């Protein structure tokens, strides 16, 4: 079974750093892009960025460029989302999602989702 | 920055048909944006319904269908059921390995 298992909920203070994870299993981790999606409390989904674990090619939404860092360790089939200095406005649910390749169109779509990691930033 | 637009809310009667749309603040949505649709119920992760405009994801009932209607992508639910009451999000591919979500539509079945 293809699965993405995310790390547990985090409670942090403003200014602290954080790295959350997303571990893939049941498929070739290095062959699929993995993306991150933010959902602030009571709000919609926002696409943040994506990484290809095979070569660590990483792209960011302009809204998130410079705010977070996406990385991956292919040796343990795990992608990461990290912050160097958290803000209260980073309080949200964060989902990872595998981007699958549609062979008919040659493009990608999100097909498998993690259950999400809740991040709470409060003093 | 381009904004992807969706109706904030919609309602449908049980057994009825509803079409949710996904547009652009500037320009038209075409198949070149490879629109996809996701369903999210409260407290749950999103579920993939439709990708590449009109391809149903595995296990999705055929009462969900995707299309291009005019200058927008569309998700049509035929024979709405109570458990279709959810938030629905479209996503458009913007090129350069980047995607943008719409604001989502809250669908009520009553």
A59-94 burial, b at 16+ Cβ within 10 Å, e below that, comes to: bbbeebeebbbbebeeeebbbbbebeebeeebbbbb
**Residues of chain A positioned with their CB less than 8 A from the CB of B47:** 113
pLDDT tens digit sequence for B27-83:
999 999 999 999 999 999 999 999 999 999 999 999 999 999 999 999 999 999 999
Cβ contact B48–A113 (<8 Å)? yes
pLDDT at position A106 is: 82
Q: What is the mean pLDDT of residues A84-103?
A: 96
Q: How many CB pairs under 8 A join A and B?
A: 69
Cα–Cα distance between B66 and B56 in angstroms, integer?
Answer: 8
Joined tokens for residue A4: 């993405």
Q: Could you say which of A50, A59, A113 has the minimum Cβ distance to residue B46?
A: A113
Asked if residue B1 has pLDDT above 80, the reply is no
pLDDT tens digit sequence for A80-93:
999 999 999 999 99
pLDDT at position A69 is: 98
Q: Could you say which of B36, B97, B104 has the minimum Cβ distance to residue A50?
A: B97
Burial class (CB in 10 A: 0-12, 13-18, 19+), A13: exposed
């Amino acid at each position: 079974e293809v699965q993405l298992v995310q790390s547990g909920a985090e409670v942090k203070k403003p200014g602290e750093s954080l790295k959350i994870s997303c571990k893939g299993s049941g498929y070739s981790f290095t062959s699929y892009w993995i993306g991150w999606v933010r959902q602030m409390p009571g709000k919609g989904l926002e696409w943040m960025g994506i990484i290809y674990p095979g070569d660590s090619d990483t792209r960011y939404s302009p809204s998130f460029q410079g705010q977070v860092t996406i990385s991956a360790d292919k040796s343990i089939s795990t992608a990461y989302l990290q912050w160097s200095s958290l803000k209260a406005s980073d309080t949200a649910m964060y989902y990872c999602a595998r981007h699958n390749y549609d062979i008919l169109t040659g493009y990608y779509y999100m097909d498998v989702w993690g259950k999400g990691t809740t991040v709470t930033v409060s003093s | 920055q381009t904004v992807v637009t969706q109706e904030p809310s919609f309602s449908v009667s049980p057994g009825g048909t509803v079409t949710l749309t996904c547009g652009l603040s500037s320009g038209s949505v075409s198949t070149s944006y490879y629109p996809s649709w996701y369903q999210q119920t409260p407290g749950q992760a999103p579920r993939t319904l439709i990708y590449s405009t009109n391809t149903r994801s595995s296990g999705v009932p055929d009462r969900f269908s995707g299309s291009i209607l005019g200058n927008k992508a569309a998700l049509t639910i035929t024979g709405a059921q109570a458990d279709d009451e959810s938030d629905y999000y479209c996503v458009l591919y913007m090129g350069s390995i980047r995607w943008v979500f719409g604001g989502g539509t809250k669908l009520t079945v009553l």
